[in-house]
Amino acid sequence: MTDGRLIQSRYQLLDLIGRGGMGEVWRARDESLGRHVAVKCLKPVGPQHDEAFTRVLRERFRREARVAAALQHRGVTVVHDFGESDGVLYLVMELLEGRNLSQLLEDNKQHPLPVAEVVDIAEQVADALGYTHRQGIVHRDLKPANIMRLDDGAVKLCDFGIARLGHDIGFTSRLTGTGIAMGTPHYMSPEQISGGEVDHRSDLYSLGCVLYEIATGVPPFDMEDSWSVLVGHRDTVPEPPRTHRAELPRFFDEVVLELLAKTPDERPADAGDLRQRIALGRTGEQPQAAQARPVPPVPVAPPGAGEPGLPSWTRDMTTGHKAVGAGASATAAVEHATAFTAAWTTGTGQALAGGLTPEGSGG
């Protein structure tokens, strides 16, 4: 795509604000309505990819458009239009002015965000997730780069490219039956890693990983080796966030540890319950704390020993980019899995696209 191009005689591409392995995002002008928007374009797939992969990729892009357009909430990016122009699929979204959480951590020189900001972000994300989950939609790739903090303080969820509609299991299985990994290792739930049944509580686990990182400066399992990260999610009890940062509120510490429970039943029941607990904690009203259930240690077999619960695709998986630190670059398989959420580089460094989050080095 080039600047100045007019898509469907309506969207004038102005400047490139994000680029990834599978597409681009542009700041554009909607000539019909006289407003600026973000246009996300899926680049034509080259001959190195087979027809099955191309079909899955294009179907996921269409899926993102359908899922995002059906969501109407202040905490979810607004989608205006979707179509195809000269063989290029495009998605038109609101243009968000702000930074994603990965970029905010970079802006803060790799230090955690202020406590009050962390708690506010936690409450707003819980509110948005509560809404999407009530619509039967599981995000499945929640990470710092997919959460935007706007200039006015509002928080928005982005990138529903691999979201799962709860009532659309057949469609989902067709998309995930290609052996393409779903998600980003530092933020994947144990059941997602093991290929088990995924529901809204998987998003809650991923949110726990995100909150842990923006509150402490490191992910809960901060290893460069992808296998160690995956096994950590499955087997290792994370250190309480307050061991890294004593100023964090005790209620926040407890909430994050519950979100990071190994089994879904041990996590908060839903995002609405989570939001209420955070809101009460912010006002100083402590809800009755649930009795902590000890998690017995699980022996960890060495890599390559055929650990149960880790499918074969994890063996070649890299850690991808975390929000802070020097994460390894994603392999082609992971880039394919996160086709719309892989590492995007900013063009102008100003406006960010609504449904696609240019990440700098994060995500």
List the one residue out of 359, 355, 343, 352 whose CA is nearest residue 27.
Answer: 352
CB atoms closer than 10 angstroms to residue 58: 15
**In the chain, what's the furthest Cα-to-Cα distance?**
62
- Hey, what amino acid is at 345? T
CA 206, CA 215: separation in Å to the nearest integer?
Answer: 14
Tokens 């019909």, located at residue: 32
Start-to-end CA distance of the chain, whole Å, equals 24
Amino acid at 244: H
Tokens found for residue 42:
């899926």
The rounded distance, in Å, linking the Cα atoms of 219 and 209 is: 6
Tokens of 312: 């074969």
What is the crossing angle of helices 200-216 and 271-283, to 10°? 30
- The conformation of residue 76, written as its DSSP 8-state character, comes to B
102 phi and psi angles, rounded to 5 deg: -65, -45
C-alpha span between 352 and 341 (Å, rounded): 13
Give catalytic status of residue 120 as yes or no.
no
Residue 176 · residue 332 · CB < 8 Å: no
Q: Given 81, 141, 203, 222, which residue is catalytic?
A: 141
SS3 content of the chain, % helix, strand, coil (to 5): 35, 20, 45
CA distances from 249 to 100, 119, 293 (A): 24, 9, 21
- Distance between CA atoms of residues 104 and 210, nearest Å: 13
Helices (H), 3-76: 51-69
CB atoms closer than 10 angstroms to residue 200: 22
List helix spans (H) across 74-113: 101-107
- Which residues does the annotation mark as catalytic? 141
